[in-house]
């Protein structure tokens, strides 16, 4: 198949970027979206044009490294699929495809389609962990966890930290990511001790990074490659209000 690509090119964070047009010729419909870009880049390199920079790592939908806003939708049109798992058969021969980086103040563009997502790391550092005394690994079944808790905790833990929720949100809010991390730990017995402090610190860290404020439109959930539910945002809001209960009432 032959496609026309409109791709955001930007030399580095300090330079202004713009959309450039490229042809993608003889694309195999079984290729993944990233393989298609590899092919295009090969052609660009042969013609002495700087290849398009984009992020990827595992290419099997588990690492959260790939990104790309494809025709306005983070990770493209396929629901519950990361860009690396999106196949070209989802497009039609002759299509024009617009490819842009995640857009958020907290995710500055490093180059072309690559953004700096270390804001997420700083949110995790603020409280996305449980503190344990090191030593040998504890016996895995020492703390029994009911299925009613284990299941939602696993659902929340499926978040791969890609940032598509921020890219999709009309306000560039990071609520879905933070809610997934807060909920995952708040549901498990190991996370109970630091529960209140964790949600306060992580929300404060999120606000410091200048992500936007949630308006409950749920674009995040629709774009999330792991289909993390917005019910976790409700859970985080509840945890947050509980953590401040003494102060408010």
The Cα 185–Cα 126 span in angstroms is 14
Which option in ligand FES, other proteins, ligand HEM, none does residue 37 bind, with CB closer than 5 to 8 A by kind? none
The least distance separating ligand FES from the CB of residue 60, rounded to whole angstroms, comes to 6
Q: What is the number of alpha carbons within 13 Å of residue 135 lying toward its C-beta?
A: 5
Q: Which residue is nearest to ligand HEM (CB)?
A: 215
Query: In 3D, which of 184, 181, 171 has the Cα closest to residue 218?
Result: 171
Judged by CB, which is closer to other proteins: 117, or 235? Answer: 235
Binding of ligand FES by 122 (CB under 6 A): no
Q: Where are the beta strands (DSSP E) in 2-161?
A: 3-9, 18-24, 69-70, 73-74, 96-100, 109-111, 114-115
The least distance separating ligand HEM from the CB of residue 215, rounded to whole angstroms, comes to 3
Yes or no: say if 93 and 1 are a contact pair by the CB < 8 Å rule.
yes
Binding of ligand FES by 84 (CB under 6 A): yes
Binding of ligand SF4 by 202 (CB under 6 A): no
Instruction: Identify the DSSP state of 87.
Output: B
Binding of ligand SF4 by 69 (CB under 6 A): no
Judged by CB, which is closer to ligand SF4: 76, or 163? Answer: 163
């Amino acid at each position: 198949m032959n496609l026309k690509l409109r791709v955001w090119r930007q030399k580095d964070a300090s330079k202004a970027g713009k959309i450039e047009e490229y042809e993608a010729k003889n694309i195999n419909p079984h290729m993944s979206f990233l393989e298609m870009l590899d092919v295009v880049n090969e052609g660009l390199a042969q013609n002495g044009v700087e290849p398009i920079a984009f992020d990827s790592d595992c290419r099997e939908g588990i690492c959260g490294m790939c990104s790309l806003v494809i025709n306005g939708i983070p990770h493209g049109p396929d629901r519950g699929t990361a860009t690396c798992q999106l196949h070209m058969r989802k497009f039609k021969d002759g299509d024009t495809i617009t490819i842009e980086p995640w857009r958020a103040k907290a995710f500055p563009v490093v180059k072309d389609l690559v953004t700096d997502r270390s804001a997420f790391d700083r949110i995790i550092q603020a409280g996305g962990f449980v503190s344990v005394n090191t030593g040998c690994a504890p016996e895995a079944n020492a703390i029994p966890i009911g299925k009613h808790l284990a299941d939602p905790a696993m659902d929340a833990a499926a978040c791969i930290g890609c940032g598509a929720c921020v890219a999709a949100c009309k306000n560039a809010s990071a609520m879905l990511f933070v809610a997934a991390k807060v909920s995952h730990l708040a549901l498990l017995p190991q996370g109970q001790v630091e529960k209140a402090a964790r949600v306060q610190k992580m929300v404060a860290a999120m606000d410091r990074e200048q992500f936007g404020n949630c308006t409950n439109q749920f674009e995040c959930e629709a774009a999330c490659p792991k289909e993390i539910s917005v019910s976790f945002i409700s859970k985080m809001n509840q945890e947050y209000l509980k953590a401040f209960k003494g102060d408010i009432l």
